[in-house]
Structure 1
Amino acid sequence: MDNVIRRRTPGARLSRFVVYAVLVGMALVYLMPLVIMLLTSIKPLEEIRPGTLLALPQAPTLAPWITAWGEACTGMRCEGIGGYFWNSFSIVIPAVAISTGIGALNGYVLTQWRFKGSEVFFALMLFGCFVPFQVVLLPMARTLGWLGLSSSTAGLVLVHVVFGIAFTTLFFRNFYVAVPRELVSAAKLDGAGFLRIFWRILLPVSAPIIVVSVIWQFTQIWNDFLFGVAFSAYETQPVTVALNNLVNTSTGVKKYNVNMAAAMIAALPTLIVYVLAGKYFVRGLTAGSVKG
């Protein structure tokens, strides 16, 4: 038996080596644009003009990053994305928290407190996931104007909450389907009410799907450009709109190093979120896949 194992070991090692070589090669190809962005962002313009994208910087500098951060826009000209970076946080944090909370409550009701027409209600919520954003720009603009929230941070938060609820409801509903109904029934017999069951029983086991909802919503809202450019004023624009303004600013010289640095700064929050919580994202997605 040991001889058989020894004879198979070199082949198994070769197969493993091939698999890892392919994976590393694909990872390098996938990361190549990021490497080019990083190298370009720390080069002076004199080193970029010859067109050697993959060449290491001869005189690395952080000046492009400082310029990219810069100051807020003045008039029609954008000098940096720093101020808008914090605008995005002021939009993302409340929108993610509200849509995740409402989605969790919806998922709880649709699985453990079903009512007449609940399946139709869920179908309509699911339909909301497939409505193109461009279709609702005009109705949403009129609604924000009627509410007095046009061109405001609160208006952008409301827009993202409305569109995020459909997705978060789907996540939590599929997750709570796997929770035994007997657990909720026992809590009802003990006198626990609607909110107490939700707060003391369902939420403590919802950490995986909460992480999924937070990562999904954070990424979608942070990277949004359409709603940001349509429903914001200069002082309330998110970082994606500021990045577009910076890249498209015509000053006679294209500052590719500044543009790349600004793009890296804008992408850092979502990159950090995925690095810190990426493994929980996959775990949460598969947690409710057994039932429902």
Structure 2
Amino acid sequence: MTSSQPRTVERTNPVARVVLYAVLLSLALFFLAPLALMLITSLRPTEDFRGQSIISWPGAWSLYAWTKAWGEACIGTRCVGLKAYYLNSFMIVIPAAIFSTALGAINGFTLSKLRFPGSNLLFILIVFGVFIPYQAILIPAAQLLGKLGLLNTIWGLILVQSVYGIPICTLFFRNYYASIPDELIKAAKIDGAGYWTIFFSIILPLSPPIIAVTLIWQFTAIWNDFLFGVTFSSGASQPVIVALNNLVNTTFGVKEYNVDMAGTIITALPTLVIYVLAGKYFVRGLTVGSVKG
């Protein structure tokens, strides 16, 4: 004869639920308000700003600011809009994110599963690179790129962003791989598997969550980076984030705030799309391996 204990069902207090939803809604409105303001301002025609506040409801709606920011706005002395610099950013971000992620995966696997004398010290030294401020490496990096003939080129920015991203990628992968049982690696070694066989056949198939996290992190960090872009590039090789700064600070005649707002949204669009479409994978990848048992 078995005895069963009655379950206790927790009921949420309706008042507490209303308060929770009210707080969440207030926070959402607080963070979305600047974006909504930018969007509304970008849809106002230039004539709508004469005699009116920058912050006001449009008297008319127009896509003029978007078309000008994309293909006609003057950026310095080049009136070609942001589209000419969009490709530069993708040419920098994609290879740099892939390269730093790949090296981070290899480093993380080596430092977490193939321990050797001094591996912990090496890991500490690599992670120390995460805390080195950008400003501390500008001069030596510029000197190195100059000697390599890569200063003011897209290839130079790819190299700098890739190298600077290796420490944080290594930290992500090393912590993730630490949760993988060592018995898997030992069993593979007993079966005669080598380093690369273990990495490609065992480790990588278990890595999609952390790969997603690292790629999203690197894409966002590199796309939004301004300091490296403005220091190591010039003219037609500049990334879009630098071009946006030049667009906002280039004025001929009347200041067009609607064009500035449209350009800002256009520049931020790739990162917004990534977080909307892949945000759940980012959160899921961060939480995988955080709880054992």
TM-score range, shorter chain: over 0.9
- Tell me the TM-score normalised to structure 2 length: 0.92
1:142 CA displacement: 0.6
- Give the aligned partner of residue 151 of structure 2: 150
Structure 1 alignment gaps of length 5 or more? none
Greater shift, 281-290 or 79-88, is seen at 281-290
RMSD over aligned Cα atoms: 1.9
1:52 CA displacement: 5.7
Q: Partner amino acid for 2:55?
A: L
- Tell me the TM-score normalised to structure 1 length: 0.93
Once residues 170 and 288 of structure 1 are traced to their aligned partners in structure 2, the CA distance between those partners, rounded to angstroms, is 14
Once residues 204 and 75 of structure 1 are traced to their aligned partners in structure 2, the CA distance between those partners, rounded to angstroms, is 48
Q: How does 1:218-257 map to 2 (within 5 A)?
A: 218-257=219-258
- Give the aligned partner of residue 208 of structure 1: 209
1:79 CA displacement: 4.1
3-state DSSP of counterpart to 2:131: coil
1:54 CA displacement: 4.5
Kindly indicate whether the alpha-carbon contact (under 8 Å) linking 1:78 and 1:242 is maintained by their aligned counterparts in 2: no
Structure 1 residue 122 corresponds to structure 2 residue 123: yes
Once residues 289 and 166 of structure 2 are traced to their aligned partners in structure 1, the CA distance between those partners, rounded to angstroms, is 18
Q: Partner amino acid for 2:258?
A: N
Once residues 167 and 27 of structure 1 are traced to their aligned partners in structure 2, the CA distance between those partners, rounded to angstroms, is 30
Check 1:17–1:108 CA distance in 2 against 1; reply closer, same or farther (3 A cut).
same
Check 1:78–1:135 CA distance in 2 against 1; reply closer, same or farther (3 A cut).
farther
Q: Which stretches of structure 1, 4 residues or more, deviate above 3 A after TM superposition? A: 71-75
1:181 CA displacement: 0.6
Check 1:244–1:74 CA distance in 2 against 1; reply closer, same or farther (3 A cut).
closer
Kindly indicate whether the alpha-carbon contact (under 8 Å) linking 1:73 and 1:234 is maintained by their aligned counterparts in 2: no
3-state DSSP of counterpart to 1:88: helix
Kindly indicate whether the alpha-carbon contact (under 8 Å) linking 2:176 and 2:210 is maintained by their aligned counterparts in 1: yes
Kindly indicate whether the alpha-carbon contact (under 8 Å) linking 1:64 and 1:257 is maintained by their aligned counterparts in 2: yes
Q: Percent identity?
A: 56
Check 1:284–1:75 CA distance in 2 against 1; reply closer, same or farther (3 A cut).
closer
Once residues 267 and 182 of structure 2 are traced to their aligned partners in structure 1, the CA distance between those partners, rounded to angstroms, is 44
1:113 CA displacement: 0.9
Check 1:200–1:78 CA distance in 2 against 1; reply closer, same or farther (3 A cut).
same
Kindly indicate whether the alpha-carbon contact (under 8 Å) linking 2:85 and 2:238 is maintained by their aligned counterparts in 1: yes
Check 1:52–1:246 CA distance in 2 against 1; reply closer, same or farther (3 A cut).
closer
1:30 CA displacement: 0.9
Structure 1 residue 106 corresponds to structure 2 residue 107: yes
Kindly indicate whether the alpha-carbon contact (under 8 Å) linking 1:78 and 1:246 is maintained by their aligned counterparts in 2: no
Q: Partner amino acid for 2:159?
A: L
Check 1:184–1:73 CA distance in 2 against 1; reply closer, same or farther (3 A cut).
farther
1:118 CA displacement: 0.7
Once residues 62 and 73 of structure 2 are traced to their aligned partners in structure 1, the CA distance between those partners, rounded to angstroms, is 22
1:77 CA displacement: 4.1
3-state DSSP of counterpart to 2:44: coil
1:38 CA displacement: 0.2
Q: How does 1:1-292 map to 2 (within 5 A)?
A: 12-49=13-50, 50-51=52-53, 53-55=55-57, 57-71=58-72, 76-290=77-291
